[in-house]
A and B are shown apart, each in its own frame.
Chain A
Amino acid sequence: MEANNTTDKNISWLKSGWWLILLVAAGIAAPYVISEFYLLILGEALIMSLFALSFNLLFGHMGQLPFGQAAFYGLGGYGIAMLMTKFQINFWLSFLAGIGLAALAGLIIGIFCVRLRGIYFSILTLAFGQLIFVIIYKWHDFTGGDDGIQGVFPPEFLKTPIAYYYFVLLVFCIAAFILWRITNSPFGYILKAMRENSERTEFLGIPIARYQLTAFVISAAFAGLAGALWAPFYRSVAPSTLMWIKSGEPVMATILGGAGLFFGPVLGTFIITFFHAYILGFTHFWAIIMGTLILIVIFFLPGGILGFIKEKIDNRKKTDQ
């Protein structure tokens, strides 16, 4: 029984390993297969997937639902955009500084938020996210306010859509791999333990708040990374990247794809992004369709799409045995 279980695990890991290699290969081949329009959508989907993965580190793995992730995403974007356009600092330094800015904000906000649980945590992260949004939105002289910041260009060799796409793909793969390692590390296991029973975990000798804060900062940094990728991709940033509606996007994507699995948020984001791009060709009433879709998933696919598929596979295995 035990032996059986471990080999089972090995096989599924191998399987998913092959899937990953195939997917990465598809990602590399994509610019030669699909049109430039869909290549841009693909780049966007990768960036938003990274954003969703940063969210799910806290939600799926640690069991806290942050509703202010857009603030860190936006800070990453504003960090790189402002340093490049206002202070003429080079792309790579600005890129790193954007991530650092998001992580720093995550540290400050996290100190307040990790003391709370459940819905209180969500609402507090939302409020702090809005605070950052309001400051940037209203501070017109410094941040450009409503207009945002234009003219955020990547370095010369990344200027073509294909080159920047490969840059995004590379960063995404590295970041996703790091996040995957984190979730399977002892630290990741402790996050899981806090999700399952934080009181019990405290009595194992774990200072809950400090671990949650560490995870919060990591999550903010990865959200910032996604934002810092986005600004040069779009050549600009706007305050809407910081708004709480933006914070809702990774939540939707994660629930759609499945929060319990590492790649659930990625699948959800891809579906939403491509569906969005496709449907905008027909109608402006995208939100109503999205809203209905969310309700359908909540009612009929409680574990998200990947969760549903996994359940089916597990059931089939059981009947086979």
Chain B
Amino acid sequence: MILETKKLVKEFGKLLATNNVSFSVNQGDIHAIIGPNGAGKSTFFNLITGYHLPDSGKVFFKGKEITKLPSYRRCRLGITRSFQITSIYPKLTVYESILMALLSRQRVTLNLFSSAEKYFREEVWSILEDVGLADQAHVNGDSISHGDKKRLELAVTLGTKPELLLLDEPTCGMSPEETESIMAMIKNLVDKKGLTILFTEHDMGVVFGIARRISVLHQGSMIADGTPEEVRASEEVQKVYLGGAA
């Protein structure tokens, strides 16, 4: 068990965005969180990454409580996230963006007097190869295609050498072909680097194609949790997705 939440609660005013959610993610899994719009997926993600702090409940990472840690500390422990709305460095090159991640992960960033360009050449190139962006290494982040931005985003998160990677809608706005290639890439990374992945996704084809475990959120509560077959069979999930829910 790499990640565990216990009775997490988060309210925004009167809106109960996360309602008593307890769940866990197993080491090496590809775990999806699904749910209709407004189910509280993003909030739940934000509670895990430390963007928001929960009103009550606890979060554990590898058995250690991290409920109140700031985002950057969680990142140093090995939890990294990507963003639904692609969040890259527009005026840095692809190469530099990945270098940033490596620099911060290796804790050399308080070094004030050596040249940054000397660091991590091989590591950057190896990540560039992994995500297939090597030919665009010296292009600015804002001048590559949307699909490549998503790859870059993933590459930057990989640069922090995460153990648990949280992906918020990794295929959002991509063509079917791009979606397929990026999911294949993710699968490959899990096998090759032993990562654990927790992701949200609205495309059910993607979810059932890749996830080994699925949790379903509805109005802030977790209504189902299990293998894809179990979730598919759950009556409650069908009610929610077929619009029959009260």
Mark the stretch among B16-24, B54-62, B76-84 that contacts chain A: B76-84
Q: Which residues of B contact A1 (CB under 8 A)?
A: 135, 138
Chain B 93-130 interface 0/1 with A at a Cβ cutoff of 8 Å (1 = within): 00010011101110011111111110100000000000
Report the separation of the CA atoms of residues A22 and B111 in the bound assembly, to the nearest whole angstrom: 30
Q: Which residues of A contact B160 (CB under 8 A)?
A: 204-205
Q: Which of A199-221 contact B (CB under 8 A)?
A: 199-208, 211, 214
Query: Do A206 and B104 touch across chains, with their CB atoms under 8 A apart?
Result: yes
Query: Do A2 and B137 touch across chains, with their CB atoms under 8 A apart?
Result: yes
Smallest CB gap from B82: residue in A? A203
Q: Does A90 sit at the interface, judged by CB under 8 A?
A: no
Q: Does A181 sit at the interface, judged by CB under 8 A?
A: yes
**Among A185, A202, A206, contact of B116 (Cβ-Cβ < 8 Å):** A185
Q: How many residues from A make CB contacts under 8 Å with B?
A: 29
Report the separation of the CA atoms of residues A203 and B100 in the bound assembly, to the nearest whole angstrom: 11
Query: Do B138 and A185 touch across chains, with their CB atoms under 8 A apart?
Result: no
Q: Does A182 sit at the interface, judged by CB under 8 A?
A: yes
Q: Does A229 sit at the interface, judged by CB under 8 A?
A: no
Q: Does A118 sit at the interface, judged by CB under 8 A?
A: no
Q: Does B208 sit at the interface, judged by CB under 8 A?
A: no
Query: Do B116 and A189 touch across chains, with their CB atoms under 8 A apart?
Result: yes
Query: Do A186 and B111 touch across chains, with their CB atoms under 8 A apart?
Result: yes
Mark the stretch among B30-38, B67-75, B193-201, B233-241 that contacts chain A: B67-75
Q: Which residues of A contact B114 (CB under 8 A)?
A: 185-186
Smallest CB gap from A187: residue in B? B112
Smallest CB gap from A193: residue in B? B100
Q: Does A5 sit at the interface, judged by CB under 8 A?
A: yes
* Shortest CB distance B231–A (Å): 29
Report the separation of the CA atoms of residues A197 and B87 in the bound assembly, to the nearest whole angstrom: 8
* Shortest CB distance B61–A (Å): 14
* Shortest CB distance A219–B (Å): 13
Q: Does A61 sit at the interface, judged by CB under 8 A?
A: no
Take A185-B115, A206-B109 as given contacts and tell me if A199 and B87 are in contact as well, using a CB distance cutoff of 8 Å. yes
Report the separation of the CA atoms of residues A2 and B95 in the bound assembly, to the nearest whole angstrom: 11
Report the separation of the CA atoms of residues A200 and B152 in the bound assembly, to the nearest whole angstrom: 12
Q: Which residues of B contact A214 (CB under 8 A)?
A: 110
Q: Does A146 sit at the interface, judged by CB under 8 A?
A: no
Query: Do A204 and B117 touch across chains, with their CB atoms under 8 A apart?
Result: no
Take A184-B116, A185-B116, A200-B88 as given contacts and tell me if A190 and B111 are in contact as well, using a CB distance cutoff of 8 Å. no
Query: Do B104 and A190 touch across chains, with their CB atoms under 8 A apart?
Result: yes
Q: Does A196 sit at the interface, judged by CB under 8 A?
A: yes
Q: Does B49 sit at the interface, judged by CB under 8 A?
A: yes
**Among B49, B104, B138, contact of A204 (Cβ-Cβ < 8 Å):** B104
Q: Does B91 sit at the interface, judged by CB under 8 A?
A: yes
Query: Do B72 and A181 touch across chains, with their CB atoms under 8 A apart?
Result: no
Q: Which of A222-241 contact B (CB under 8 A)?
A: none
* Shortest CB distance A254–B (Å): 17
Q: Which residues of B contact A206 (CB under 8 A)?
A: 72, 104, 109
Q: Which residues of A contact B80 (CB under 8 A)?
A: 203-204
Q: Which residues of A contact B112 (CB under 8 A)?
A: 181-182, 185, 187-188
Take A1-B138, A189-B96 as given contacts and tell me if A201 and B115 are in contact as well, using a CB distance cutoff of 8 Å. no
**Among A2, A184, A189, contact of B138 (Cβ-Cβ < 8 Å):** A2
Query: Do A196 and B116 touch across chains, with their CB atoms under 8 A apart?
Result: no
Query: Do A187 and B76 touch across chains, with their CB atoms under 8 A apart?
Result: no
Q: Which of A1-26 contact B (CB under 8 A)?
A: 1-2, 5
